[in-house]
Amino acid sequence: AQSVAQPEDQVNVAEGNPLTVKCTYSVSGNPYLFWYVQYPNRGLQFLLKYITGDNLVKGSYGFEAEFNKSQTSFHLKKPSALVSDSALYFCAVRAPGGATNKLIFGTGTLLAVQP
């Protein structure tokens, strides 16, 4: 069965510094991977996805993620953090093929950016 792990409950970073939010996955075959962000009292917003091709994926709001097949990781990154990036970030995986597009989410990582 596919699964996603986000090993850090919280990541603290100073504004202007680079940030990384970690995600590792377990899935049979080539995974489809996603990052979503949730602001307080809001729904989840799609940031980016990896399906195939270039291992570095660029997404919304200056975020990018690097797919690493050998380490089964899909870490979210941003070169320079903003206070407004503070939110809850979810990594999700979907196994290719099959009859459903359902997503399996990680437990979430709270990103706190200090001014």
Partner 1 sequence: DSGVTQTPKHLITATGQRVTLRCSPRSGDLSVYWYQQSLDQGLQFLIQYYNGEERAKGNILERFSAQQFPDLHSELNLSSLELGDSALYFCASSVGGAGGFSYEQYFGPGTRLTVT
Q: Is residue 101 a contact point for partner 1 (CB under 8 A)?
A: yes
43 counts as binding partner 1 under rule CB under 8 A: yes
| Residue 112 CB, nearest approach to partner 1 (Å) | 18
Determine contact, residues 47/63, Cβ cutoff 8 Å: yes
Residue 7, CB-side half-sphere exposure with 13 Å CA sphere: 8
If one asks whether residue 110 binds partner 1 (CB under 8 A), the answer comes out as no
**Binding window for partner 1 (CB under 8 A); candidates: 8-16, 19-27, 29-37, 70-78:** 29-37
Rounded CA separation 62/50 (Å) = 16
CA–CA dist 34, 94 (Å, integer) = 8
Residue list 49-68, contact with partner 1 (CB under 8 A): 49, 51
Q: Does residue 89 belong to the site contacting partner 1 (CB under 8 A)? A: no
Of 86, 88, 67, nearest in space to 76 by CA? 67
Residues in the chain: 115
Identified binder of partner 1 from the candidate list 84, 107, 112, 114, rule CB under 8 A: 107
Contact residues: partner 1, CB under 8 A: 32, 34, 36, 42-46, 49, 51, 90, 94, 96-108
